[in-house]
Amino acid sequence: MTSDPQSSLFWSEDDLRGEFLRVARQCGECRRCENLCPPFRALSGGPGGLGALSGRERMAEEFLRASDLCFQCGRCAVVCPYAQEVDPRRAVDFPRLLLRERIVRGRVRGAPHGRGLIFNPDLAGSIGSLAAPFSNWIGRSSIARRLLQRTTGLDHRAPMPSFRRTTFDRWIRKKERRLRKMARSGRGKVALFHSCSVNYFRPEVGRSAVSLLARHGIEVVSPDQRCCGRARLEGGQLHEAVESAKENLRLLRRYADDGFAIVSPQPECARMIRSEYPWLAPGEDAARVSAATWELCDYLLAMHRGGKLDLASASRQGSVLYHVSCHARPSGSDPAGLQLLRMVRGLKVTPLEGCCGMGRTWGFVAGRFSDALETARPLLRAIDDLGPERIVSDCLAAGMLISARSGKRVHHPIEMLCEAHGHPPGID
């Protein structure tokens, strides 16, 4: 498979079509992944999925159509017998192939998969936060939302985030001296890559992370950073995604060299840095930064197991429903956030798997929310049936939809952990 954007073959539509035909043949013989996600179930427009297709040419055309449906969650790679194939003539990376199609479509045909402000979270968040609370009033107006859809690309029916006037970045800049005093030698060092979502919409998630880490003596800093570029990449905007990657690598490299763990409370940002930066901007910077990058709950669990954090002393009576998101499932084991909450004495934790249909930006894009909501219906029905006391998810997009539909606030795991340890979010 030609996956190097520096190669002329990467941009060849003939080569791309040939690759689709090759993959079509192998997937048509296997079909192990067809029940995993909406794109596969939607292929050929019927319940038969891939099995209902006949002929490699038609299957290739269906794969092209599937490009717009892919969430890039990576679940298919877990069960794919060709995902780890060494022979390039048989290897299959279906998400990367669909991503390549989006990128080529945008560059060669001038029809990018992603348009609008929704694919520039940093700019959208900056504007929304500066204009808050007015921007939040607009978000509650159905007429304003319809007008906004034309300029932002955000579906007027999708849940709208609530912008915060005081962003996480503004808050933590005022706490830098206090954080240095709280750090204890040998306990660990964290450079927090907070993410656009936490910065502009959910600063309490970042404050809870800082509270738990700092109160355990871990040195916490917040490096200068920009959007990780995931939205740009999934929108087919390769040049912009590469620029984001290069800038963040420049900003983060010195922290990796100084022994900091680069930690993000947003799993998709951590995944972007670890998995995509070495592809987008190969070199020593990407190698060093990606190797130092962790998702927050993975980092906490590793520190606990290494004896540097005692997270088994927390207690809290009650029950929570833990939503196991799509991006948490490719690992094949229980997500770290779920394992951490199970350590809390007195807390009953019920895991629930289910696709929210939002796919980070996918379900928010104009014209797609109905499909996203249809995908999420089994999950939403299960939540209604269980009637949980509290709901937890590390997927902020899922949390927005679940909250909008159930009327219940959805917590990030770090918020529950911070509460169970008796720590308020933030520090004095």
35 or 188, greater pLDDT: 188
Provide the percentage of residues in the chain whose pLDDT is more than 90. Answer: 50
Query: Percentage of the chain surpassing pLDDT 70?
Result: 89
Question: Mean per-residue pLDDT for 38-44?
Answer: 58
pLDDT band at 330 (very low <50, low <70, confident <90, very high): low
- Check residue 47 and give its pLDDT: 42
In this predicted structure, the answer to whether residue 241 has a pLDDT above a threshold of 80 is yes
pLDDT grade for 293, boundaries at 50, 70 and 90? very high
Taking residues 270-296, what's their average pLDDT? 96
pLDDT band at residue 332 under the 50/70/90 scheme: low
Average the pLDDT over each of 142-146, 244-248, 331-335, 361-365 and give the range with the smallest value.
331-335
The pLDDT value given to residue 48: 45
Q: Is residue 265 predicted with pLDDT exceeding 50?
A: yes
* Region of poorest pLDDT, from 230-234, 245-249, 260-264, 413-417: 230-234
Residue 58: predicted pLDDT? 61
Least confident of 32-41, 260-269, 276-285: 32-41
Q: Give this prediction's pTM.
A: 0.91
Average pLDDT, the chain: 87
The residue among 237, 240, 155, 163 whose CA lies nearest residue 196 is 163
Pairwise pLDDT comparison (23 vs 399), residue with the higher score: 399
51 versus 61: which is more confidently predicted? 61
**CA distance linking residue 213 with residue 218, whole number of Å:** 5
Which of the four pLDDT bands, split at 50, 70 and 90, describes residue 251? very high
Q: Is the pLDDT of residue 88 over 90?
A: no
Q: What is the mean pLDDT of residues 69-96?
A: 80
